[in-house]
């Protein structure tokens, strides 16, 4: 996979489909300048930028972008399967983030329990020493 060939296909797809770096960046939470520099040759094209493009335009063929095989756009059945995988990935990431928040909340609760146990133990100990 020659990077210049991949960049050329990315540029061709963006031009033909009317995709701007701004639109990709906004949709995929990436920096617009990064997307622009990577897709226009001033920086190396990253996997993240290619993934952002494919998330933004799910009907775009990853095999065409990366390998130059097949056609630029997926057929309807391929598009449905591809979109389902993207949706599954985003749902998985959303669930991971919810789990991380829950773990932080649980850690905070354990810390509060330790604090409360310490507060109840301290007066009891001072009563024993008096």
- Number of continuous H segments (helices) and E segments (strands) in the chain: 6, 0
Q: Which two tokens stand for residue 5?
A: 């060939």
Q: Which two tokens stand for residue 79?
A: 């598009």
Q: Which residue has the tokens 């797809």?
A: 13
| CA R_g for the chain | 25
pLDDT for the residue numbered 20: 93
pLDDT for the residue numbered 115: 86
Give me the count of residues in the chain. Answer: 130
Cα gap 43→46, rounded to integer Å: 9
Model confidence pLDDT, tens digit, residues 78-126: 445 555 555 556 666 776 777 777 778 888 887 888 888 887 665 555 5
Cα gap 78→100, rounded to integer Å: 33
pLDDT for the residue numbered 79: 47
Cα gap 101→99, rounded to integer Å: 5
Identify the top-confidence range among 2-6, 15-19, 55-59.
Answer: 15-19
């Amino acid at each position: 996979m020659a990077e210049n060939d991949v960049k050329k296909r990315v540029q061709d797809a963006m031009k033909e489909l009317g995709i701007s770096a701004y639109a990709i960046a906004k949709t995929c939470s990436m920096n617009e300048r990064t997307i622009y520099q990577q897709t226009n040759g001033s920086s190396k094209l990253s996997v993240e930028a290619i993934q952002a493009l494919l998330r933004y335009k799910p009907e775009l063929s990853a095999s065409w972008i990366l390998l130059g095989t097949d056609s630029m756009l997926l057929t309807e059945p391929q598009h449905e399967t591809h979109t389902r995988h993207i949706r599954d990935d985003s749902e998985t990431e959303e669930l991971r983030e919810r789990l991380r928040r829950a773990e932080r909340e649980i850690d905070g609760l354990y810390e509060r329990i330790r604090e409360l146990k310490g507060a109840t133990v301290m007066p009891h100990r001072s009563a024993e020493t008096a």
